[in-house]
Structure 1
Amino acid sequence: MSVKESIQHLIEKIPQGEPFTNSRFLRLGSRAAVDKTLSRLVEQGSLQRVARGVFVRPKQSRFVGNVMPDVSRVVQVIAKDHGETIQVHGAEAARRFKLSSQMPTTPVYYTSGPTREIRIGNLKVKLMHTGSQRKLQHAGKRPGLALSALWYLGKENVNVEIVRRIRDGLSKEEFETLQSSRMPAWMSEIFRQYEASRAHG
């Protein structure tokens, strides 16, 4: 089987709309041969390039036509390819927990890798380096999202009511994971106050 046939065979097994990177096929041939095959498949319309080195088998919807994969899914695939850990930025995390109505104009993620901008389709996405492992705890999971929101809101804005609203957005297990996370003293103190308020409530 040629490099092209081997790649096509593997691609057919990938679900439509699921992003993947060119590095997935490097064991089948040289980078040049892999890139050439993928470029040809893009030209034929069998594949769609959604970001540099990231592709997807087009997924069609009768309502909107071509369906782009979720931006966060593409970012995760890129991060995994580079051996990075990524976390949703606090502004977006706070919005998802309905703690803020501000909609970030550019999607931003914290990363253990270098700060840079990537283009996904027509969208610019910013990856911001953070050296803080505490900010990357439980990356990609809801307790990590909650931590990101709390860091973003900061000491001045986080209170028992904020913790209560985050608790409402998590399962019991997720909230316990959040409580056992490494966090600064001010954050731990708010959780202690929250537990005290429940005990008295």
Structure 2
Amino acid sequence: MNSISTQIENIMTENKGKIYSIHDFYRLGTKNTIKSILYRLNEEGKITRLIDGLYTKPKFSEILNEYSYPDTNAVADKIADKFSWTISPTGDTALNYTGLSTQVPNEYVYISDGPYREYLYRNKKIIFKHTTNRNITSYSKELSILIQAIKAIGKDNISNNDIQKFTIFSKNISEDLIKDTLKLPFWIQKVLERIQKKNDEQTITNFK
């Protein structure tokens, strides 16, 4: 067990700030063995338990003179990975992702093809709300986030400034915003058309 414990500690020390679950170490030993080693390493202060089942070796910032911990979105992504859920930020969380909101939310809300779950991480709530699978598996993560952010603002509240920020975010999206979104509600398609038009205008300007 000491050998496995040393291996786990070394892996986490070499990857400070990365989030690990029991699943990441199954190749080294049985589930119960890994679970007890992670529990003991946490008790000894060698690693840090983030939430039940997730651990990290925090990075130390010389500038801030304190340890830094993974951000809430990264923890949410790791929870989803642990349970093989597909998730997408929604509401204010999606607005935060796309740059339309700079406020740090107290609740990070995601739609998920898994069950409804709530977690508390460093005084922030992580909430997973169940939705039908096709709502989040039909598109890339980036396009799903954009769609959820558009929904969060609402049909009659999207300004030209919002379109500009959405356009910046959409540069990371691989899909065609018009051709690949024909199953979405018509009003969302029209917003995506405005974003695509803005994208095309900027591309033409850059080539001049």
TM-score normalized with structure 2 length: 0.78
Between 1:155-164 and 1:115-124, the stretch displaced more is: 155-164
Residue aligning to 2:87: 86
Q: Distance in 2 between matches of 1:61 and 1:127?
A: 31
Residue aligning to 1:129: 130
Q: Is 1:49 paired with 2:49?
A: yes
Residue aligning to 2:7: 9
Q: Distance in 2 between matches of 1:186 and 1:168?
A: 20
Residue aligning to 1:31: 31
Q: Distance in 2 between matches of 1:150 and 1:71?
A: 22
Residue aligning to 2:206: none
Report how many residues are paired. 194
Task: Give the CA RMSD over aligned residues.
Answer: 2.8
Residue aligning to 2:148: 148
Structure 2's unaligned 5+ residue stretches are 202-208
Would you say the 8 A contact 2:106–2:124 is kept in 1?
no
Change (3 A) 1:158 1:21: same
Could you tell me how far 1:96 is from its partner in structure 2? 4.2
Residue aligning to 2:115: 114
Q: Deviations over 1:34-61 (max 9, x none)?
A: 1111111112221100011000012111
Q: Distance in 2 between matches of 1:176 and 1:56?
A: 34
Between 1:19-28 and 1:182-191, the stretch displaced more is: 182-191
Change (3 A) 1:124 1:92: closer
Between 1:114-123 and 1:51-60, the stretch displaced more is: 114-123
TM-score normalized with structure 1 length: 0.80
Structure 1's unaligned 5+ residue stretches are none
Would you say the 8 A contact 2:86–2:136 is kept in 1?
no
